[in-house]
Amino acid sequence: MSTCLFCRIAQGEIPSKKAYEDEEVLVFHDINPAAPVHLLMIPKEHVDNLLAVEPRHTALLGKMLALAPRLAREQGATDGFRIVINNGPDGGQEVYHLHMHVLGGPRPWKRL
Ligand code: 5GP
Ligand code: ZN
């Protein structure tokens, strides 16, 4: 059994509110949303973060980026959205399984 939280979510061992799933990708709602729409998009394969990405992952990363606008819109972010990927300690990463935050809805959050 994996000890990685998001691997366990991907395997269904820990429940999540799913927004999208296919063979390679799972999208679920963040448990502690920072915006009206706050999705987490993960590859089902464990990859720590962008620092661990290999050339074979590039198509998957492109697919995830291309999926984001559709999912953001479906979840109610009809007027734009933001993608955030935190990488490593200085990047503020808390869960070490690569994930894209998809943030949308009226903007309560601060500018970068
Ligand atoms: P990071 O800081 O690593 O970029 O983001 C981790 C995100 O995962 C945080 O926004 C946090 O709220 C979310 N999170 C942590 N544990 C869980 C969980 O068990 N379920 C869900 N749905 N989200 C989680
Ligand atoms: Zn993992």
- The 10s digit of each residue's pLDDT in 90-102 is 999 999 999 999 9
Compute the distance from residue 99 Cα to the ligand 1 centre, in Å. Answer: 9
Nearest residue (by CA) to ligand 1, atom 21, is 31
48: nearest Cα among 1, 106, 95? 95
Beta strands in the chain (DSSP E): 18-21, 25-29, 37-43, 81-84, 100-104
Give 40's contacts (C-beta < 8 A, 6+ positions apart): 6, 27, 28, 29, 30, 99, 100, 101, 102
Question: Which atom of ligand 1 lies closest to the CA of 91?
Answer: 4
Q: Is the pLDDT of residue 109 over 70?
A: no
Given a cut of 90, whether residue 110 has pLDDT beyond it is no
Mean pLDDT of 24-36: 97
111 or 92: whose pLDDT is higher?
92
Give the Å distance between the CA of 95 and the centre of ligand 1.
Answer: 7
User: How confident is the model over 41-85, as pLDDT tens digits?
Assistant: 999 999 999 999 999 999 999 999 999 999 999 999 999 999 999
Rg (CA), the chain: 13
* Alpha-carbon distances of 44 from 21, 52, 72, 77, 87, rounded to whole Å: 9, 15, 20, 24, 18
Reply yes or no on whether 101 is catalytic.
no
Ligand nearest to the CA of 11: 2
- Cβ–ligand 1 contact at 31 (below 6 Å): yes
pLDDT(88) > 70: yes
What is the predicted pLDDT for the residue at 107?
Answer: 76
Angle, CA 33 vertex, CA 31 and CA 37 arms, to 5°: 115
Please tell me the predicted confidence (pLDDT) of residue 2.
Answer: 81
